[in-house]
Amino acid sequence: MKGIAANITLLEFGLPVLERPRRAAELGFDAIECLFPYDLGRGIFAEALDGANLALVLINTPVSGWDHGDRGRAAVPGEAKAFRKELKQAMRYAKSCGAPMLHIMSGTTDAPGARDTLVDNLRAAADAQPDLTLTIEPLNPGDAPGYWLNSFERAAEVLDAVDRPNVALQFDSWHAHRIHGDAAGVWREHGHRAAHVQIAGLDGRGAPDPGHPEEARLYAAMVESVYDGWVSVEYPDPDPQDAEWLSTLRSALAA
């Protein structure tokens, strides 16, 4: 494991976005991820990261209306031109801020051509930027109704079809738990495909709880598989006052 990152989009720390990297560092996180940083100037955000001495490990491709249900367009037939435009924006931002990974948002669709659209877009994106790792993440239907990439089996099929070394799985324990009911079992089947991991408490998407039986099994399975990427803590909290669980989590992931 490279270290434990904080998702500063969901972990707000009661602070403006540009002040969150500093607070994450104070609490003991090793890095950050930020889902949609595009409203922040690239130079200003890079300065905030440098000031906190934390790396930015991942961003998402842009969405035009998250609050209105937009979840990207990489799998949406007929949206290739718009996807390419958003992808270029994301790649420029990732490069300027030093983010090595970009989560490609598949989008909401039930069109028959969605799978082939996603495969074609991922291949083109991977070939255009071979030094950037592209990830795809299954989202559970309860939190993301209609999202095309809604199972780990579907993600595995897409990854096999894309067949590019810089396209990988983004494993989110909350979504694995909600989709399949056994996050550790999903990891044992699909964890070898993962380049990035996101975790949260599995009872209610709160802070991780290494003492929770299912979470403990997941962390043990990750250790057993010698996962060597980042683990990002991703749960909604407007103002977490501490991260007492962080040292326990770090021990569980290093066992």
Share of the chain above pLDDT 70, in %: 100
Which pLDDT band, with edges at 50, 70 and 90, does 252 fall under? very high
Give the chain's mean pLDDT: 96
Strands in 133-136's sheet, in edge-to-edge order, are: 55-56, 31-33, 3-7, 230-233, 194-199, 167-172, 133-136, 101-103, 58-60
* pLDDT at residue 108, rounded to an integer: 96
Secondary-structure class of domain 3-254 per CATH: alpha beta
The residue from 33, 86, 137, 214 that is catalytic is 137
Which pLDDT band, with edges at 50, 70 and 90, does 24 fall under? very high
* pLDDT at residue 83, rounded to an integer: 96
Return the structure tokens found at 215.
């979470």
pLDDT in tens, 70-103: 899 999 999 999 999 999 999 999 999 999 999 9
Task: Tell me how far apart the alpha carbons of residues 1 and 249 are, in angstroms, rounded to a whole number.
Answer: 12
* pLDDT at residue 200, rounded to an integer: 97
Instruction: Give the pTM.
Output: 0.97
Which pLDDT band, with edges at 50, 70 and 90, does 242 fall under? confident
pLDDT in tens, 172-231: 999 999 999 999 999 999 999 999 999 999 999 999 999 999 999 999 999 999 999 999
The domain segmentation of the chain, as residue ranges, is: 3-254
Annotation marks residue 214 as catalytic: no
pLDDT in tens, 141-162: 999 999 999 999 999 999 999 9
CB 7 within 8 A of CB 33: yes
CA angle 179, 116, 146 (to 5 degrees): 35
DSSP 198-236: EE--TTTS-S--TTSHHHHHHHHHHHHTT--SEEEE---
- Which residues are 142's β-sheet partners? none
Q: Is the pLDDT of residue 255 over 80?
A: no
Q: Is the pLDDT of residue 241 over 80?
A: no
The residue from 86, 214, 215, 234 that is catalytic is 234
CA angle 151, 156, 159 (to 5 degrees): 125
Annotation marks residue 234 as catalytic: yes
Which pLDDT band, with edges at 50, 70 and 90, does 235 fall under? very high
CB 133 within 8 A of CB 195: yes
- Mean pLDDT throughout 23-32? 96
